[in-house]
Structure 1
Amino acid sequence: MDSLTQACLGGALGGAILGRRLGRKSILLGAVTATLPDLDSFIDYGSAVADYTYHRSVTHSLFALSLLAGMFTLVCARLPAARKVPTRQWLCFWWLCLITHPLLDAFTTYGTQLLWPITSPPVAWKTIFIIDPLYTLPMLLGLVVALIKGTQGRAVIIGLAISTAYLGFSIAAKSMVMAQVSPALVQRGLDDRPVMIQPTPLNTLVWRVTVIDDDRQLEALVSIFDDRDTLAFDSFQRPMAFRDLMIDSWAGQRLGWFSAPFWRSEVRDGTLVVTDLRMGQPGAYFFAFVIAERDDSGQWHSVTSRPADIARPDIGLLPALLKRITNPDALCPSDFGDRDRLLPDAECRPQI
């Protein structure tokens, strides 16, 4: 999640746990503590793919953060000014403020390595967009009230409860969409294909459904208010140029572990570009990387990965996205872009 949301969550937890003993200081301390795991954003790991895939690793590990919480607790136990708070309460404060950061991140699409150093695939439950005002605002309002009035945790607890309930709703909403999509996939013979369901920007009412079918990428927008028979996929080409070169390179292997099979590779101006299809929308993906180049003799060589050019999302489509909540015809995946890759079997925007 974004830094403001993480700070709000930490501040709310701090106020709830230590508000009676530390007052407003507990909110500020909790907010700062909850943002510590994202300091890895400032670490240079040596290449664009390394920076991308090592983010949310050691600093987001449940094991590493639990150890850090224990160290902070030991320090507080030795500080005279901190001894008015029981050690057990300090441990609860540090541990919850730190551990909830990666757990909340795991509800997004990016991928969080909760079990580092165990090399299991990143955890991504994909139930909430990385920025969602309906999750953040209740906590933020509770913190503002507490900082102004000093209500010793009551306001922040109410805000935290509302936000947590909304997070629970996001899980239920995804389950509703899965129930809509599954029969349609069976009907189309796609039930054994990789499927990704995630919320669209800033809401949990309209969801993006992505199906990988070999060299095709099927995309649909589904509202929790849709009827089951309204599901319509737009079908896009999914190039996988120089698959062997991509997979044999370190960057390709790392991206494969991190995001496959929701990726594609293509040649752009003598470079091999790999795009992560999970973040963004067709035609406007947030992460793409150059991992190989063709030399003057026509031979391909792996290179130190770097960011590739990407298309910016069209924020002018946000009103149409809101209309899509109740109107299935208001927006299609191809409206975001990638129309040059659109295949004739597109259902939401049929080709004439």
Structure 2
Amino acid sequence: MDSVTQAALGATIAGTVAGKSLGRSALLIGGVLGTLPDLDVVIDYGSAVANFTQHRGFSHSLFLLAPLAILLAWAFWRWRPQVSLARWLTLTGLVLLTHPILDAFTTYGTQLFWPIGPPVAISSIFIIDPLYTLPLLLACIAFLIRPPAPRIMAVGLMLSTLYLGWTLVAQQWMTERVKPALAQAGLDSYQLLVQPMPFNTLLWRATAISDERRIEIVTGVFDGNQPLTLEHFPRNPGLRRQVASLPEVKRLEWFTRGFLDYQQSGDQVIATDIRLGVPGAHPFSFVVAANSAQGVTPLGSTRLPRPPLKADASNLLWNRITGEQPILCLATLSAPAPGEGC
């Protein structure tokens, strides 16, 4: 999740656990601890792919954060012994461990069990979702106005947690909706990713991939029995096989669970994470190799600039959420004329 949300979550937890003893300083401690795991963004791992796939790595590992919580609890207890060691441990443990767990609900991927196991990506909430963050921010504001506000802090945490539970329900609902359409499209064996569109959990994007093709579906909570619109995108299995043995390509395949698109531009081979963003505006595309008549040559990966979104993208998204526009075409990020499809 975004830094504001993580800071608000940490502050609300700290205020709930130790607000009566620490006063407003509890919010500051919780907010700082809540953003601590994301400081790994300042580390340069040597290449664009390495920076992309190692973010949310060791700094988000439960195996590292659990002992760190114990050390910090002991240090805080020595500093402010009027708060018991057990309460300090509750504060540091909850704040540090909820950060990566919340991140794991997004699509990017969080290496909860680094250095073993793949990234965890539940994909039920967008990286920025105001409806999750708002109860936490309101609870923190109430605390600042009249500390310690224990009931309001608890209510803020409860509402945000219930909303997170709703994202799982909505995701499963949308998953069951798209499966029959994919079967009718002739996809017998495929990987499926169902995730919310930006800033909400009312409109969802389903991405199904097989070796030869990819199907994208946009569907929403308010769509009812409206027929689904399937957009077809070809894949490039031949190019994928050509670069499959390259270490950085293997790393990308592992990190994205295979949700990659391969294209060749000139002699450059470009790998794009198709989970994030939308077709035509995916934020993470990497030049990973050169491909010529002499064969494939690995390159030190570089990240390409993100293509700009259309100026009316937010209006299109809102109109699709509300049902004013029944179809949103991802390939062009546009709404077709009435009666037409994508």
TM range (shorter): over 0.9
State the AA in 2 paired with 1:316: D
State the Cα deviation string for residues 300-330 of structure 1 (Å, max 9, x = none).
3101111124312225122221221243624
Corresponding residue for residue 344 of structure 1: none
Structure 2: distance between partners of 1:163 and 1:144: 15
CA deviation after TM superposition for structure 1 residue 216, in Å: 1.6
1:349 aligns with 2:324: no
Structure 1: distance between partners of 2:196 and 2:74: 41
CA contact (8 A) 1:284 1:336 kept: no
Q: Which runs of 5+ in 1 are unaligned?
A: 338-346
Larger mean Cα displacement after TM superposition, 324-333 or 300-309: 324-333
Structure 2: distance between partners of 1:279 and 1:54: 17
Larger mean Cα displacement after TM superposition, 162-171 or 326-335: 326-335
1:2 aligns with 2:34: no
Structure 2: distance between partners of 1:21 and 1:137: 25
Corresponding residue for residue 70 of structure 1: 70
Q: How do 1:269-284 residues align onto structure 2 when only pairs under 5 Å count?
A: 269-284=266-281
State the AA in 2 paired with 1:109: T
CA contact (8 A) 2:107 2:122 kept: yes
CA contact (8 A) 2:73 2:88 kept: yes
CA contact (8 A) 1:127 1:198 kept: yes
CA deviation after TM superposition for structure 1 residue 298, in Å: 4.7
Q: How do 1:193-204 residues align onto structure 2 when only pairs under 5 Å count?
A: 193-204=190-201
Structure 1: distance between partners of 2:101 and 2:321: 28
CA contact (8 A) 2:142 2:149 kept: no
Q: How do 1:181-330 residues align onto structure 2 when only pairs under 5 Å count?
A: 181-228=178-225, 230-240=227-237, 242-294=239-291, 298-327=294-323, 329-330=326-327
Corresponding residue for residue 85 of structure 1: 83
CA deviation after TM superposition for structure 1 residue 185, in Å: 2.2
CA deviation after TM superposition for structure 1 residue 269, in Å: 2.7
Q: Which runs of 5+ in 2 are unaligned?
A: none
SS of the counterpart of 1:143?
Answer: helix
State the AA in 2 paired with 1:182: K
State the AA in 1 paired with 2:159: I
CA contact (8 A) 1:288 1:307 kept: yes
CA contact (8 A) 1:145 1:155 kept: yes
CA contact (8 A) 2:280 2:332 kept: no
CA contact (8 A) 1:60 1:113 kept: yes
CA contact (8 A) 2:283 2:305 kept: no
The structure-2 alpha-carbon separation of the partners of 1:217 and 1:321, relative to structure 1 and needing over 3 Å to count, comes to same
CA deviation after TM superposition for structure 1 residue 294, in Å: 4.6
CA contact (8 A) 2:243 2:296 kept: no
Structure 1: distance between partners of 2:330 and 2:101: 30
SS of the counterpart of 2:309?
Answer: coil
CA contact (8 A) 2:197 2:203 kept: yes
CA contact (8 A) 1:135 1:166 kept: yes
State the AA in 2 paired with 1:100: T
1:158 aligns with 2:158: no
Corresponding residue for residue 102 of structure 1: 100
Larger mean Cα displacement after TM superposition, 11-20 or 186-195: 186-195
CA deviation after TM superposition for structure 1 residue 249, in Å: 0.9
Structure 2: distance between partners of 1:110 and 1:290: 19
Structure 1: distance between partners of 2:266 and 2:54: 28
CA contact (8 A) 1:320 1:330 kept: no
SS of the counterpart of 1:150?
Answer: coil
CA contact (8 A) 1:241 1:267 kept: no
State the AA in 1 paired with 2:7: A
Structure 2: distance between partners of 1:139 and 1:315: 31
Alignment size in residue pairs: 337
CA deviation after TM superposition for structure 1 residue 13, in Å: 0.2
Q: 1:331 aligns with which of 312, 317, 328?
A: 328
Corresponding residue for residue 29 of structure 1: 29
Larger mean Cα displacement after TM superposition, 108-117 or 232-241: 232-241
> TM-score, normalized by length of structure 1?
0.91
> TM-score, normalized by length of structure 2?
0.93
CA contact (8 A) 1:107 1:124 kept: yes
CA contact (8 A) 1:109 1:278 kept: yes
CA deviation after TM superposition for structure 1 residue 263, in Å: 0.4
Structure 2: distance between partners of 1:299 and 1:172: 48
Structure 1: distance between partners of 2:341 and 2:58: 44
State the AA in 1 paired with 2:143: A
State the Cα deviation string for residues 265-300 of structure 1 (Å, max 9, x = none).
1111321110010001111101011111257x7543
State the AA in 2 paired with 1:270: D
CA contact (8 A) 1:181 1:228 kept: no
Structure 1: distance between partners of 2:152 and 2:51: 38
State the Cα deviation string for residues 232-276 of structure 1 (Å, max 9, x = none).
111112234532342111110100111132101111132111001
CA deviation after TM superposition for structure 1 residue 41, in Å: 0.5
CA deviation after TM superposition for structure 1 residue 348, in Å: 7.6
